[in-house]
Amino acid sequence: MDFVSDGQIVLNVVPRAVGNLELGNEAVSFNARFGGRPHSVIVPLYAVLAIYARENGAGTMFEPEPAYDAQLENGEGIFDTEDMVAPKATLSAVEEGELESVGDDDHPDDEPPKPRGRPTLRVVK
């Protein structure tokens, strides 16, 4: 593994570095790029050892959970991806009669919505 150091991987999980970040009860998952290649990352919570801020080092460390230790002792790879493959989405045809109108019916399709009042700028910090 290219990103493993001393059996651990340090992940930079900030909104600008990852996409689709999900913090669940069982795992932390997100999409990120490593070495310019996109990856879908799923980290079981029992494998998370610390959460900290890179800027000041403040954070929390966790004790390794028994599930993590058992997986290491059994020789099972922590990075096995067989069970982590996302199911493929399937598409199906929709009959014309099944279509429903979605959206605003207030504006006809050929006219853009008219602006209300004068245009203004707003300072965002």
> Could you read off the pLDDT of 58-75 as tens digits, one per residue?
888 888 777 666 666 665
pTM: 0.46
Q: How far apart are CA 41 and CA 69, in angstroms?
A: 21
Report which of 37, 32, 36, 34 is spatially closest to residue 13, judged by C-alpha positions.
Answer: 32
- What tens digit of pLDDT does each residue of 82-117 get? 544 555 667 677 676 655 655 555 555 667 777 777
pLDDT tier at 76, thresholds 50, 70, 90: low
The domain ranges of the chain are 1-95
In the prediction, which pLDDT does 106 show?
56
Cβ atoms of residues 23 and 13 within 8 Å: no
Q: Which candidate, 24, 18, 1, places its Cα nearest to that of 78?
A: 1
pLDDT at residue 78 greater than cutoff 70: no
Q: What is the pLDDT of residues 6-55, one digit of tens each?
A: 777 777 777 777 888 888 888 888 888 877 888 888 888 888 888 888 78
**Which residue type sits at 59?**
G
Architecture of domain 1-95: Roll (2.30)
E strand or H helix that includes residue 73: helix 66-73
